[in-house]
Amino acid sequence: MFMGASTKQGQDIALKSREIVRSLISDKIEHLSLEEQSIVERIVHSTADVEYAEICHISSDFVKCSIESIKNGKDILTDINMVRAGINKYSGEVKCFINHPETIKMAKKEGITRAAAAMEYAAENGFKGIVVIGNAPTALYKVIELFEKGIMDIESVIGVPVGFVGAAESKYALKSSQIPHIITKGPKGGTPVAVAAANSLIQLSKDNKRRKPDEI
């Protein structure tokens, strides 16, 4: 299966689309590793927006830490259920606590968003793995806070919240942290970007497993 395609026609379309994407952005991502290029290509393919080739920033440790987490079957935590629903083909658990009763209680008690409270709830209940945020800057700020306080055990963060209020600032805060990450600079981002990055990592982890030892 390639890029989610499960039929011959679907695979042909996906391959053609990937060829077009590469022809449009190859010069913009040539400085990236092959794995990083694959992630950015998938984001551009999923959004039909070549600007992502220029606004994606990937920390040097992001791919390694993320693939290791996936290989070990650690959890993936998302900010909203739409992101959770889009992440597929993962043998581990993909979790979202935004609608959990305890999250709702916590949000009301602390006067914070449910997305932020969901991160607190996850941390309090032993979360360890990759955090994927495509919509809520408040969740991203909370993740950074919990990590810096030593409360949340994070392998890496896909931090691509979309919007004009807090999104760019929260991503800059993540970029300035010690957390392995991928971000999109400015207000752009959202569910399709977050899902594309996560699914690309899952595919990369499978490809990595299939390689011969001397190819790694």
CA quadruple 183, 188, 191, 192: dihedral positive or negative? Answer: negative
- Which tokens belong to 56? 């994606």
This prediction's pTM: 0.91
Nearest Cα neighbor of 94 from 65, 62, 132 is 132
Rounded Cα–Cα distance for residues 158 and 31 (Å): 20
The letter for the amino acid at 9 is Q
Alpha helices, H only, the chain: 8-29, 34-47, 52-55, 62-71, 81-86, 101-110, 114-124, 137-148, 167-175, 191-210
Instruction: Look up 45 and say whether it is catalytic.
Output: yes
Active-site position among 31, 45, 57, 100? 45
Rounded Cα–Cα distance for residues 108 and 176 (Å): 30
Low-confidence residues in the chain, pLDDT < 50: 1, 212-216
Contact predicate 48/56, CB 8 Å? no
Between the CA of residue 70 and those of 124, 126, 202, what are the distances in Å? Answer: 21, 17, 7
Rounded Cα–Cα distance for residues 123 and 140 (Å): 13
The letter for the amino acid at 198 is A
Angle between helices 191-210 and 62-71 (to 10 degrees): 70
Question: CB atoms < 10 A from the CB of 21, how many?
Answer: 20
For 105-163, write each residue's pLDDT tens digit: 999 999 999 999 999 999 999 999 999 999 999 999 999 999 999 999 999 999 999 99
For 128-139, write each residue's pLDDT tens digit: 999 999 999 999
